[in-house]
Structures are given as C-alpha cells and as structure tokens.
Structure 1
Amino acid sequence: MEIKRKKIQGVLNILSFNRHFYVIGLSILAIIIFSLLYIECSNIILYSVIGSFVYGLLMPLIISAYVYDYSGYYNLNWLKACDIDTQAKNIININAGFDETSFLIKNKFPKAELQVFDFYNQEKHTEPAIVRARKVSLTYPNTRQISTKHIPLEDDTTDIVFLLSTAHEIRNNDEKVLFLKECHRICKPTGKIIMVEHLRDLPNFFAFSIGFTHFFSKKTWKTVYKKAGFSSFKNIKFTPFMSIIINKP
C-alpha cells in the first residue's frame, strides 16, 4: 500500500494531537499581556514575554516540519546508515498506538514477513495526544496488541526490530528494561534493534524548550539497553534533533 503524506503532515499532526497545549499556551499569553498592560510595565518586558511565548509555540512546529516533512525521515533512506541486511526475512515493527511506518517498511522490504505489534495501554497511556493520534492512525493488517512485558514470538526468530519514535512512551525505566529484554530475546544473534528517537539533549531543548523532558537522554537509553543484555550501542545522528540508535544482541 502506497502512503502519501501531505507536505506538512508532521506539523499538522503536532497541531492536531497537541492542540490542548496551544490553547492553554495562547490563553496564558493573553492573560499575561493584559496583566502587563494593566500595570503599565515597560515595553522591553512586554516584548520579551511575547517573544518567549511565540518562540516556545512556533519552534516545535518549525523543527517538526524539518524533521518529519523535509528531512526524508519517511522515505527510510536513512536505513543505509544502519548497515542492515536488505534480504532480512523476519521484521518486527512495534508502535505505541500511532503507526505511520509499517506500510512504509513493508514497501521497503517487500519480500520480508512483517509483523506489527502495538503496546498501547489505555490505562497507562492517557495523554490526550496519544488518544487523538489513535483515532486517525492507519492500522496495518493483523496488528497485534501486546504488553511491554511480553512479545508473543519464539526466541531468536527476528532479523530486525523497529522502534520508530515509539519507545519513549514507556516512561518507567524498569519497564523499559523488561521491554528491551523481550526485544533481545526474540532477536537473532545476527539481528538488530533499530530505534529512532529525539533525545533529551541541547538541540532538542532549543527546539522544544521544556517539552524536551518528554524524551530521554542518550545515557538513559545506553543504561537500559545494557541492563537488557545488549552487547553494543551505536548512536547515529539523523538531523541534529533525531538519533538512530542501533543495538545488537
């Protein structure tokens, strides 16, 4: 199935799924402006406050447009840097309730058997953005619902496990370790886990300000992968704001 994205689909998704943040942010900005005008503060303070809010609201959209709409993220050509076997037979793609990549992966590996799993838990994953995303997400045929504690596959059966903008939704580090242990268990000794994530680092702080805390640091990921039993950890920057993290059993 061919997936056609709109030119600014990434920005539209951010606005749609996180509109509550923008409504709250603009409401707070309006209150602050009226308050500052009421007390007749200096123009420097007024313009500084307005500038800070505008930056905080617009910069995530600009970076999202760059990363998701203009960097080539969804053409999957960045996989060339992962040194993967193009003849891989067994591929797993795991999402957290919003799947934009399974059809693309299948198109990239037409001869492979692709299985898709969704670890979304409506009791744990209650953020409005995820709930809204699920309403418009395409569902790959035969997608199976799983828990982060168990992937229903035999040991050493998978060539590639994809975790694309997904794993950060597991907020608890102990749960991350359990989940990654399952990924390790199902992965062949010659297989790979390919994860793409924003990191909690300086570029993403400038991009998302306080919102960068929704992501995790390279140190955190390296620690949980090590605890899960992986023998290697490779981080490749895909744009200054996204990282491709490759792990081998």
Structure 2
Amino acid sequence: MSTGTGTGTGTGTGTVPLPPRPSGVREVIGYNWPMYAGGLAAMAGGLALAPRLPRVPATLARTGALAAAALLMGSTAACWWVYDHSELYSLDWLTGLLPDGPGDHLVISTGLDEVSHPLALRYPGTRQSVVDLYDPALTTEGSIRRARRRVPPRPGTLTGTPSRLPVATASRDTVFAVFAAHELRLAPDREALFAEMTRTLRPGGTLVLVEHLRDRANTAVFGPGAWHFMPRREWLRLADGEGLHSVAETRIANLVTALVFRRGAE
C-alpha cells in the first residue's frame, strides 16, 4: 500500500493525480488527536503525581496511567490492523456477499467517503451515485470535520439529508452505508435514513451496512470509545422497521461487521 497521494499516468494527457489512499492509522490519529492528547496527558499526569501521593492514591494514579497507556496502544494497534492491514478497502470480503456484483448502486456518506472509489474500480461497468449527508448540526464529531478536510467529497457527489436522498424510488440494486449511519446520533435520523435507503432499492435489492459494533471485541480495544458505535440490535431494529430481511453477515478483521439486508420482492 502506498504511503501518500500518488500520481498516475494518463492516456496522452501527462500525469493526473490519484485519490489519496484510504485512511490508515496515521490519519485516524490525526482525525482524533484530541483523544490521543487527552490519553497521553492522563498517563503523564498519573505518573508524575504518583511519587507525591500517599500509598493508596499513588497506586491508583499509576494504575490509571497504565490503563490509559494500554488503551492508547490497543486502539492504535486495532486501527492499524483494520485500516492498514485488512481487506476492508480491497473489498475482497464483498465477493461472497454479492457474487453477482452490486449492479446500479448508491453510496451513503456522512462526511468521509472512502468506499465509492474502490467500488468504482472493482465494478467499472456499474452505475454509481454518491450522496453525502454531512451537516455540522447533525454530524457533530470534530474527527469528521478534520477527516473531511483531508478527503473532500468526490466530484459529482450529491447532497442529501437523512429524510431526503436525491435518488429516484426503486432505482438501485444495492445501497452501501459504510461507517456512515452511526454518525447520525439521533434515532429519528437513523430511522429516516433507513426509510429512504429502502425507498431507493428495487424489489429484491440489497443494503450493505458496514460498521464497528458496540460489542465485546470493540470495547476491549477501544474502551469507552466503543460507545460511539451502535449495538447490533439497533441495526436489526432499523432494518426490521423497514421490512428488510437479514440475509448475510461477515466479520472483517474481527472488529468490523458487514450486515446484508434485502428488500422483499413485490
């Protein structure tokens, strides 16, 4: 994998810029630097205070510092494993879920779209639309703002809201929501998005939802940060509310889950 934005050779037009590689551990640290800074400060503060405290508080300070260090190292290693080392962005995991390909498909983004380009490269004969739902009032995480500055929306990206996707009814074979839906922090916004995604699917169409889950594995490596993710039951609830049927599920790098739902044939 390359380590930065590269260039490619065009056909008779000289060199043209290639899109940046998908975000890896370095970018994740950059997007979330306040969290890392806070963890380092807690670790340094605990170690600095411990020698000045009585025995029991000193033990607690050292334990807290070690816990902060373990959390930082564990989450950083997990990010490297998922984003730099796994098949996440090569999309090799998708072949078993969509053996016939995605057909005409829609990609949902909430500020950071790093899947539409790999999809376009892997399935060049398909029609693709991208809708970005980014709204600072809804997507409040500072990490998304920082990520968006590095990876702006691709040319041709449409602007939408959870309750209005600018895509025709029953016009897509597949909808992809990759690390997007959890950024809608309010349940009514997630419910509106699922209703809209279902509306755009043709009968028998497929929704591919890719997310970290709030589960034991993610809690073990991300600690309190795992509460930013949604539990599996929330995604099942939203799908069931729109009459979508769960048809497949796969785990990527042991920490990411791809859930596949299908709209019933009419």
Q: TM-score, normalised by structure 2?
A: 0.86
> Distance between the aligned counterparts of 1:84 and 1:228, measured in 2?
24
Shift in Å, 1:46: 5.2
Query: How many residue pairs are counted as aligned between the two chains?
Result: 246
- CA distance in 1 between counterparts of 2:21 and 2:55 reads 46
Moved more, 118-127 or 31-40: 31-40
1:80 pairs with 2:98: no
1:65 counterpart residue number: 80
Assess if the C-alpha contact under 8 Å between 1:233 and 1:246 holds in 2: yes
> Could you tell me which of 225, 240, 243 is aligned with 2:254?
240
Percent identity for Structure 1 against Structure 2: 25
Question: Aligned with 1:160: secondary structure?
Answer: strand
Whether 1:5 aligns to 2:26 is no
**Matches of 2:103 and 2:84, distance apart in 1:** 29
- Hey, which of these two has a bigger chunk of helix by percent? 1
Aligned-partner SS, 1:73: coil
Match of 1:148 in 2: 162
1:75-120 per-position Cα deviation (integer Å, ceiling 9, x unaligned) = 111111213422x441111111111111111101101111111001
How far has the Cα of 1:236 moved from its partner? 1.7
**Structure 2 residue 197 is the aligned partner of structure 1 residue 186:** no
* Alignment-derived partner of residue 4 in structure 2: none
1:170 positional shift: 1.1
Distance in structure 1 (CA, Å) of the matches to 2:97 and 2:18: 24
Q: Which of residues 30, 37, 51 in structure 1 aligns to 2:51?
A: 37
Normalising by structure 1, what TM-score? Answer: 0.92
* Residues 203-241 of structure 1: CA deviation (Å, up to 9, x unaligned): 001110111000011111101111122133532222221
Q: Secondary structure at the match of 1:210?
A: helix
SS of the aligned residue for 1:231 comes to strand
How big is each residue's C-alpha offset from its partner over 1:5-29, in whole Å with a ceiling of 9 and x where there is no partner? 38xx411121100001111222222
Cα pair 1:234 1:246 within 8 Å, conserved? yes
Q: Please, which runs of 5 or more residues in structure 2 have no aligned partner?
A: 1-16
Kept after mapping to 2: 8 A contact 1:181/1:229: no
Supply the AA of the counterpart residue of 1:99.
Answer: D
Q: Offset at 1:177?
A: 1.4
Pair 1:27 & 2:41 matched: yes
Shift of 1:155: 1.5
Aligned residue for 2:9? none
The residue number in structure 2 matching 1:207 is: 221
Give the distance between the partners of 1:159 and 1:68, measured in 2 at CA. Answer: 27
1:185 and 1:101 map into 2 onto residues whose CA distance is 22
Does the aligned pair in 1 maintain the 2:171–2:201 contact within 8 Å?
yes
| Amino acid aligned to 1:154 | A
Q: Corresponding residue for 2:111?
A: 97
What are the residue-to-residue correspondences of 1:114-193 with 2, within 5 Å?
114-193=128-207
Shift of 1:200: 0.5
Contact (CA 8 Å) 1:197, 1:244: kept in 2 or not? yes
1:161-190 Cα shifts (integer Å, max 9, x gaps) = 111111110112222111101111110112
Counterpart residue identity of residue 251, structure 2: K
Contact 1:161 1:193 (C-alpha < 8 Å) held by counterparts = yes
Contact 1:3 1:104 in 2 (8 A): no
Does the alignment pair 1:52 with 2:67? Answer: yes
- Pairwise CA RMSD: 1.9
**Kept after mapping to 1: 8 A contact 2:174/2:201:** yes
The correspondence for 2:209, drawn from 192, 195, 201, is 195
State whether residues 93 and 116 of structure 1, in contact with CA within 8 Å, keep that contact through their aligned partners in structure 2.
yes
Structure 1 residue runs without a partner (length 5+): none
Instruction: Tell me how far apart the structure 2 counterparts of residues 92 and 15 of structure 1 sit (CA, whole Å).
Output: 29
- 1:246 offset after TM fit, Å? 0.3
Partner Cα distance (2:174, 2:100) in 1: 9
